[in-house]
């Protein structure tokens, strides 16, 4: 890796202060450099531009700079290094301003079974890079400017085809919005709902707490929908007075129940009658291991259902790439909010994902991942059957997580979490996923939510081991 010093990077130096105090050019330069080092603005090891470059930048004689450099080297502020020119010396440099106090992000985790994340070691780095190379080779210049807030047409075209083919979504590139993950997509929708007068959003009784926070941060209240074996009780939507409902029809998070046909129909009927909006969070739609995958609910009524998809499970959350398939009358308002939020998503990642999908590399990656995650789920079930047969694995064979129902008399969920931490085991409980509600929580066995997709292959068995230890405490 080449250092910027080999050519000399920019360096801001203000000589006016010294000049104003009547110093000569060289003295003023030395003064400015001393100040920059003393205050820590130029930390030890920082490489300075060559005297030639600095003299050109400041419009003063090269000799003056050279003399100042050697003077400060003599004083011990600077040092000359073979090959890397002049650098700020080690001694006597104060540290930069102290770091701002922020809570540590996560405690040390040895066994990561936290749900909601894929195996990050599976991110297809070389396929991604190859797609980026092809995309950058052919992208028009205008792609790097401010373009359509909905995202690049190349990606919206690829997504429209992919979503229709794989998930049965009925849309077209004009109605697709590329957003910074599901989080931003949901946030933009909530802003529009608020604008249009909605006050409440119905959400499933159990879900991801972050989603709850996004909705309330936009000034909307939530009302929880009970869940049963047929999925969310959409038949109760009429009573909620909600302006919208957010559902996970393909694979309820976290319970793993699919939304039955009757309940889908009921949801759409309610939306039409109440003039309400349905948001279909298809967070892991690519990952189902049964033979009869359920298509997107959005296909029942593309003018009432927003389909929300993401690359966070199929590729990686760090990409922050998601998409909304919007009803025609929401395209304008949502695009406007996107414009105000950040203009558009980053163009390089968009063009790269478009190329990845068009080339088939995306399908291949999803298929390989599906196979791996399916094996892991089978292995989880197998190991629990052997080591902890009293634990019930509920939910359908899909996605990246499983729900473990512990027998009555087991430790409570809070105790389990405490023990898990001692074991260096990171996971979740059903209670943690409960949507805030006035109704007292139903009496149910202690239940764990396990992300079997999270750990890399070589750590999976050890994580299962730790899990078995926990559930048998």
List the beta bridge partners of residue 59: none
Q: Shortest Cβ distance from residue 422 to its own copies (Å)?
A: 22
Among 23, 230, 269, 341, binds its own copies (CB under 8 A): 341
Q: Shortest Cβ distance from residue 354 to its own copies (Å)?
A: 12
Q: Is 144 a binder of its own copies (CB under 8 A)?
A: yes
Q: Is 83 a binder of its own copies (CB under 8 A)?
A: no
Calculate ∠ Cα 86-58-74, nearest 5°.
35
Q: Is 46 a binder of its own copies (CB under 8 A)?
A: yes
| Alpha helices per DSSP H over 405-455 | 413-422
Strands 322-325 and 305-310, by their bridges, are antiparallel
Mutual angle of helices 347-358 and 125-138, in 10-degree steps: 110
The CB density around residue 472, as the number of other CB atoms within 10 Å, is: 12
Q: 191 or 405, CB closer to its own copies?
A: 191
Q: Binding to its own copies (CB under 8 A): which residues in 152-171?
A: 160-162, 164-168, 170-171
Tokens 């292959």 belong to residue: 457
Among 27, 44, 66, 136, binds its own copies (CB under 8 A): 136
Q: Shortest Cβ distance from residue 109 to its own copies (Å)?
A: 10
DSSP string of 343-410, one letter each residue: SS--HHHHHHHHHHHHTTHHHHHHHHHHHHHHHHHHHHHHHHHHH-TTSEEES-SBSSEEEEEPPTTS
Q: Shortest Cβ distance from residue 41 to its own copies (Å)?
A: 5
Q: Shortest Cβ distance from residue 251 to its own copies (Å)?
A: 14
- Binding string, 270-309, against its own copies, x = CB under 8 A? ----------------x----xxxxx---x--x-------
Please choose, from the candidates 341, 318, 308, the residue with its C-alpha nearest in 3D space to the C-alpha of residue 125.
318
For residue 436, how far is the Cα from the chain centroid?
A: 24
- Binding string, 357-396, against its own copies, x = CB under 8 A? xxxxxxxx-xx-----------------------------
Q: Which residues contact 155 (CB under 8 A, 6 or more apart)?
A: 178, 350, 351, 353, 354, 357
| Alpha helices per DSSP H over 39-93 | 51-58, 62-75
Q: Binding to its own copies (CB under 8 A): which residues in 305-334?
A: 316-321, 326, 328-329, 331-332
Q: Binding to its own copies (CB under 8 A): which residues in 444-463?
A: 456
Q: Is 5 a binder of its own copies (CB under 8 A)?
A: yes
Report the alpha-carbon distance of residue 261 to residue 266 in Å, rounded. 9
Q: Binding to its own copies (CB under 8 A): which residues in 221-260?
A: none
Evaluate the omega torsion of the peptide bond into residue 167 and state whether it is cis, within 30 degrees of 0. Answer: no
Among 21, 38, 125, 392, binds its own copies (CB under 8 A): 125
Q: Is 353 a binder of its own copies (CB under 8 A)?
A: no
Please choose, from the candidates 283, 316, 287, 399, the residue with its C-alpha nearest in 3D space to the C-alpha of residue 125.
316
The stretch near its own copies (CB under 8 A) out of 126-134, 263-271, 393-401, 440-448 is: 126-134
Q: Binding to its own copies (CB under 8 A): which residues in 207-226?
A: 213-214, 217
418 three-class SS: helix
Among 82, 108, 141, 408, binds its own copies (CB under 8 A): 141
The stretch near its own copies (CB under 8 A) out of 77-85, 93-101, 372-380, 384-392 is: 93-101
Q: 29 or 416, CB closer to its own copies?
A: 29
Q: Which two tokens stand for residue 391?
A: 């634990």
Size of the site for its own copies (CB under 8 A): 117
Among 128, 270, 287, 452, binds its own copies (CB under 8 A): 128
User: How many Cα neighbours within 13 Å face the side chain of 470?
Assistant: 33
Among 34, 71, 153, 172, binds its own copies (CB under 8 A): 172
Q: 364 or 392, CB closer to its own copies?
A: 364
Q: Is 80 a binder of its own copies (CB under 8 A)?
A: no
Among 27, 132, 265, 468, binds its own copies (CB under 8 A): 132
Q: Is 204 a binder of its own copies (CB under 8 A)?
A: no
Cβ burial of 366 (10 Å; 0-12, 13-18, 19+) is middle
Please choose, from the candidates 399, 395, 396, the residue with its C-alpha nearest in 3D space to the C-alpha of residue 376.
399
Q: 218 or 387, CB closer to its own copies?
A: 218
Among 23, 25, 34, 43, binds its own copies (CB under 8 A): 43
The CB density around residue 71, as the number of other CB atoms within 10 Å, is: 17
Q: Is 59 a binder of its own copies (CB under 8 A)?
A: yes
Report the alpha-carbon distance of residue 306 to residue 33 in Å, rounded. 58
Q: 460 or 471, CB closer to its own copies?
A: 460
Phi, psi of 283 (to 5 degrees): -65, -30
Q: Shortest Cβ distance from residue 149 to its own copies (Å)?
A: 9
Q: Is 99 a binder of its own copies (CB under 8 A)?
A: yes
Q: Shortest Cβ distance from residue 359 to its own copies (Å)?
A: 5
């Amino acid at each position: 890796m080449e250092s910027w010093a080999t050519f000399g990077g920019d360096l801001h130096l203000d000589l006016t202060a010294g000049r104003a105090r009547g110093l000569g050019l060289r003295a003023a330069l030395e003064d400015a450099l001393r100040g920059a080092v003393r205050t820590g603005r130029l930390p030890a090891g920082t490489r300075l531009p060559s005297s030639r470059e600095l003299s050109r930048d400041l419009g003063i004689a090269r000799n003056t700079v050279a003399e100042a450099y050697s003077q400060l080297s003599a004083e011990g502020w600077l040092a000359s290094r073979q090959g890397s020119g002049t650098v700020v010396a080690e001694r006597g440099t104060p540290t930069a301003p102290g770091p701002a106090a922020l809570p540590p992000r996560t405690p040390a985790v040895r066994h990561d079974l936290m749900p909601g994340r894929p195996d990050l070691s599976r991110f297809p780095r070389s396929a991604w890079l190859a797609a980026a190379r092809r995309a950058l080779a052919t992208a028009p210049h205008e792609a790097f400017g401010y373009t359509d807030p909905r995202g690049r047409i190349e990606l919206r075209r690829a997504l429209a085809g992919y979503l229709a083919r794989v998930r049965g979504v009925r849309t077209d590139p004009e109605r697709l919005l590329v957003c910074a993950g599901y989080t931003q997509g949901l946030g933009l929708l909530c802003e529009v709902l608020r604008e249009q007068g909605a006050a409440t959003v119905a959400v499933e009784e159990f879900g991801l707490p972050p989603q709850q926070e996004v909705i309330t941060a936009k000034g909307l209240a939530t009302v929880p929908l009970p869940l049963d074996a047929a999925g969310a009780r959409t038949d109760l939507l009429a009573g909620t007075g909600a302006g919208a409902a957010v559902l996970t029809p393909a694979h309820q998070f976290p319970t793993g129940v699919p939304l039955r046909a009757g309940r889908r129909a009921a949801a759409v009927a309610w939306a039409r009658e109440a003039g309400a909006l349905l948001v279909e969070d298809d967070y892991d739609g690519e990952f189902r291991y049964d033979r009869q995958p359920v298509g997107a609910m959005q296909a029942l009524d593309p003018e009432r259902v927003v389909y929300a998809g993401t690359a966070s499970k199929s590729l990686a959350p760090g990409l922050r790439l998601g998409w909304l398939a919007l009803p025609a009358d929401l395209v304008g308002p949502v695009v406007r909010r996107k414009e105000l939020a950040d203009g558009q998503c980053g163009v390089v990642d968009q063009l790269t994902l478009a190329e990845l999908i068009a080339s088939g590399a995306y399908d291949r990656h999803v298929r390989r991942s599906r196979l791996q995650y399916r094996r892991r789920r089978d292995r989880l079930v197998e190991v629990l059957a052997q080591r902890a047969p009293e634990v019930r694995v509920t939910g359908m064979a899909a996605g990246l997580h499983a729900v473990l129902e512990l027998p009555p008399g087991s430790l409570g969920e809070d105790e389990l979490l405490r023990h898990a931490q001692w074991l260096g085991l990171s996971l979740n409980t059903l209670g943690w996923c409960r949507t805030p509600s006035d109704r007292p929580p139903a009496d149910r066995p202690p239940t764990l939510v396990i992300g079997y997709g999270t750990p890399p292959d070589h750590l999976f068995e050890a994580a299962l081991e730790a899990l078995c230890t926990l559930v048998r405490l």
